[in-house]
Amino acid sequence: MVNHEPLWILTAQCPSTLGTVDVVTRSLAETENYIVSMNSFDDRATESFSIRVEFRPLSGTASLQRFREIFAERAAGFRMRWQLSDPDHRTKVAILVSKYDHCLNDLLYRYRTGELAIEIPLIISNHPDLQPLADWHGIPYFHLPISPETKSEQEAELWRLITLHQCELVVLARYMQVLSPELSRKLDGKAINIHHSLLPGFKGAKPYHQAWAKGVKLVGATAHYVNDDLDEGPIITQAVQAVDHSHYPEDLVARGQDIESQTLAKAVRYHIEKRVFLHGNRTVVFAD
């Protein structure tokens, strides 16, 4: 559901300690900022605390300024890392694709209708196939073909484009290239990948055809952050759907692509709405 009320978002993390919720809510109340919704979680495994608050200032910029001044001092005593997100902010997203267009189409539709509060300054691909789709949306398309000989050079150019356009998030919308460990580290916590979820784990070409040959009963998808451990980054969202013997390979592909598109879009939305907190290789996700 899209929330049309202009709300500020406060997110914070700190070591587990008494008074964490109180210092947030008290600081907001004392400075005339009305809390609309709040989620918090204390992780016993890592002894860390996460909180997300949506609020509206009752006195406009004065409420925000007073809150910043008061909360900055109080948060320091709890060793809180915190961030305020402007309701008008639109996250700049670079999309990486190869030849499959289902995830890209879905993201562009949600971008065009305003469902995702993002800007897409560029699309990057190792193939030219999807340029007409980018052109139709008026988004610059950069074709960076990659071979073993050019991989290092093209990844350097990819990184240059991402930084040049000040992209805050990179989305691998079925980008069929393995990122180097160096680039993966640069994108740590700032890049989301989508991967089919099938059991057993079918790798290589035509995974849905492999799954059909084994008679799978579930298809699904996993959206996760990119790290230098291939397809094993922190998980943001997952989804599954039951299938049976009546589904042929092309049916599994269609079902799988629908789930991939929806799962990736949800992960992007959770990220830009500051609903995802990293706890090592795990995530805390405050779903709506």
208 and 136 fall within a common domain: yes
58 and 25 fall within a common domain: yes
* Residue 200 belongs to a domain: yes
* Per annotation, catalytic residue among 42, 231, 251, 258: 231
pLDDT of residue 132: 97
Average of pLDDT values for 31-50? 95
pLDDT above 70: residue 284: yes
230 falls in which pLDDT band (50, 70, 90)?
Answer: low
For the chain, the first-to-last Cα distance in angstroms comes to: 8
140 and 51 fall within a common domain: no
* Amino acid sitting at position 167: C
Question: Which of 261, 274, 164, 249 has the alpha carbon at shortest distance from 221?
Answer: 261
State the CATH number of the domain containing residue 30: 3.30.70.260
Q: Note down the domain range covering 245.
A: 91-285
30 and 173 fall within a common domain: no
* Residue 2 belongs to a domain: no
206 falls in which pLDDT band (50, 70, 90)?
Answer: confident
Question: Which of 223, 226, 249 has the alpha carbon at shortest distance from 236?
Answer: 223
33 and 144 fall within a common domain: no
State the CATH number of the domain containing residue 112: 3.40.50.170
214 falls in which pLDDT band (50, 70, 90)?
Answer: confident
- Dihedral, CA atoms, 242, 248, 249, 255, nearest 10 degrees? -40
With beta carbons less than 8 A apart as the criterion, state whether 126 and 99 touch. Answer: no
Residues contacting 196, CB < 8 A, separation 6+: 202, 207, 208, 219, 220, 221, 222, 256, 260
182 and 264 fall within a common domain: yes
pLDDT above 50: residue 1: no
Measured CA to CA, the distance from residue 221 to residue 198 in angstroms comes to 8
Which SS3 state, helix, strand or coil, does residue 108 take?
helix
12 and 61 fall within a common domain: yes
69 and 132 fall within a common domain: no
Percent of the chain at pLDDT above 70?
96
59 and 128 fall within a common domain: no
Q: How many domains is the chain built from?
A: 2
pLDDT above 50: residue 90: yes
Comparing 195 with 23, which gets the higher pLDDT? Answer: 23
pLDDT above 70: residue 185: yes
Structure tokens at 242: 């039951």
* Residue 3 belongs to a domain: no
276 and 182 fall within a common domain: yes
152 and 36 fall within a common domain: no
86 flagged as catalytic: no
Last residue of a domain, one of 57, 85, 113: 85
pLDDT of residue 231: 65
67 and 204 fall within a common domain: no
Q: What is the pTM of this model?
A: 0.93
